[in-house]
């Protein structure tokens, strides 16, 4: 087993949305014997990410004990956030208060509705970052399309907070192309989101088949 990296890597799972298109909390949906959230946290644990934080809105507070049982820390927000970026920033602030990350540390932005998260992809991002420290933004791609998760150097946190209101992380990545390294992976699973009932049915078929 490879040695622990000198820098620390945190994972932030934003769960502040209302799952409007799904019609029910999608992170609590069962999939292959476990709920979606357990699958995401489990994949991060398999990739040896020690500090995993779920940032959860008050309307889905029932996810908090499930995340803790799966091995994650939980930040339960007192009120709903305006968008995903705001949810993420609450999580980054919580990590700063509890773990005091340094500029050499990294964090993973991990969508909670990404049940096909592959520990091997996470490890590949970490290995790429360790081998190429000049690129502090590392994104997986499949056939030229960017997917999840994204590995981000902690030095970017202050810059992300300085973004104009309404701009998200995708805008930030486009603005910092010179610091971004794309990593081609062999699976289209990095593109998989769980947004609609049709997405869920498709995943259930793929798990059962």
% of the chain at pLDDT higher than 70: 92
Domain range annotation of the chain: 9-208
H helix or E strand, kind and range, residue 10: strand 9-15
**73 contacts 53 by C-beta, under 8 angstroms:** yes
Q: How far apart are CA 192 and CA 67, in angstroms?
A: 21
Q: Count, in order, helices (H) and strands (E) of the chain.
A: 7, 10
- pLDDT tens across 112-148, in order? 888 899 999 999 999 999 999 999 999 999 999 999 9
pTM for this one?
Answer: 0.91
Q: What is the CATH number of domain 9-208?
A: 3.90.550.10
- pLDDT tens across 29-87, in order? 988 888 999 999 999 999 999 999 999 999 889 999 999 999 999 999 999 988 899 99
Q: How far apart are CA 173 and CA 164, in angstroms?
A: 14
Span between the terminal Cα atoms of the chain, in Å: 32
Pairing of strands 150-153, 34-35: unpaired
* DSSP symbols for 115-146: TT--HHHHHHHHHHHHH-TT--EEEEEETTEE
Chain center to CA of 114: 8
Q: What's the chain's length in residues?
A: 209
Q: How far apart are CA 154 and CA 202, in angstroms?
A: 36
């Amino acid at each position: 087993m490879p040695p622990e990296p000198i820098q620390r890597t945190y994972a932030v799972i934003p769960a502040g949305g209302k799952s409007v298109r799904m019609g029910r909390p999608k992170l609590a949906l069962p999939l292959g014997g476990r709920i979606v959230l357990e699958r995401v946290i489990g994949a991060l644990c398999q990739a040896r990410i020690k500090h995993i934080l779920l940032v959860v809105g008050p309307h889905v507070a029932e996810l908090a004990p499930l995340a803790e049982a799966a091995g994650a820390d939980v930040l339960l927000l007192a009120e709903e956030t305006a968008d995903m970026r705001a949810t993420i920033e609450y999580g980054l602030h919580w990590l700063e208060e509890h773990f005091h990350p340094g500029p050499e540390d990294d964090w993973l932005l991990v969508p909670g509705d990404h049940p096909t998260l592959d520990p091997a992809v996470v490890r590949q991002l970490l290995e790429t970052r360790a081998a190429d420290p000049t690129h502090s933004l590392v994104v997986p791609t499949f056939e030229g399309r960017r997917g999840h998760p994204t590995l981000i150097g902690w030095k970017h946190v202050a810059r992300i907070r300085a973004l104009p209101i309404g701009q998200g992380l995708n805008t930030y990545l486009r603005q910092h192309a010179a610091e971004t390294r794309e990593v081609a992976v062999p699976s289209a699973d990095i593109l998989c989101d769980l947004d609609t009932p049709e997405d869920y049915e498709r995943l259930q078929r793929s798990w059962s088949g």
